[in-house]
Amino acid sequence: MCGRYALDVTGLELARSFDAMLGTGARFLPRFNLAPTMEVPVLRSAGEAAIRLDLLRWGLVPAWASDPAAGSRMINARSETVFEKPAFKTAVRERRCLVPATLFYEWKRDGRNRIPFGVRPTDGTCFGFAGIWERWDRGEERLETVAILTTSPNSAMSSIHDRMPVILDSDERARWLDHRSHDEGGPSEAELRSFLEPVADERLLVHRVSTRVNDVKHEGIDLMDPLDETPEDPEPPGLFG
């Protein structure tokens, strides 16, 4: 599962890095403990070859859902079934996006405790998670929401958790955001599915982080810092199951 992450750049810096137009993402400021139901920056197609940076609520609400609270249960979409699940199958074909992140957090079970780890790219750039987005509209109540795709873990992550986010490389990102039909030069379903594999171990740097990250109210760049000591960890909240 991908249930918490950090992004230590502004919306303006993100737009420059990804050569994107500034939408509502222009007002994003660095956050170090992004969690479900928060507004998060998302890169999505703006027509032709352009992309735009917008803020969407994390937790996908299908267009047909009667209650937007459904989004709190759909922060992730399993890549193995995303093309078949009713909640996701239209979005993955028509509304793909990228979710940028500096680092994501994951928890390893150790008896009754869960030990937090930070995972970042070894090259110091931003991750680009494969995402899908959806628009929910009920009269004056409108939402745009996003889910992050997950896959099986690579060997660097398998001792910590049984899932990890789908991390796209630069070539895959452009194709993931290409919404042309296959006949017009866009990606086929088979090509899209080929992107949904675990990233190579050597692209990840994994380290312990402070248990302060367990509480979504905690913020600050220090949450990402590697933890050298190994103190006994308290029982964290059960936000991510």
Catalytic sites, residue numbers: 2, 106
The string over 81-115, giving b where at least 16 C-beta atoms fall within 10 Å of a residue's C-beta and e elsewhere, is: ebeeeebbbebbeebbbbbbbbbbbbbeeeeeebb
- Please, what is the Cα angle at 82 between 199 and 189, to 5 degrees? 80
- 3-class DSSP assignment, residue 42: strand
Helices and strands (H, E) in the chain, number of each type: 5, 13
Distance CA 89, CA 94 (A): 9
Distance CA 161, CA 184 (A): 39
> For 103-201, where are the E strands, in sequence order?
103-110, 113-121, 127-138, 141-151, 164-165
CA distance 2 to 220: 20
**Tokens standing for residue 30:** 């660095």
Residue recorded with tokens 């222009």: 26
Taken in order 98, 15, 58, 64, is the CA torsion positive or negative?
A: negative
DSSP 8-state class, residue 17: H
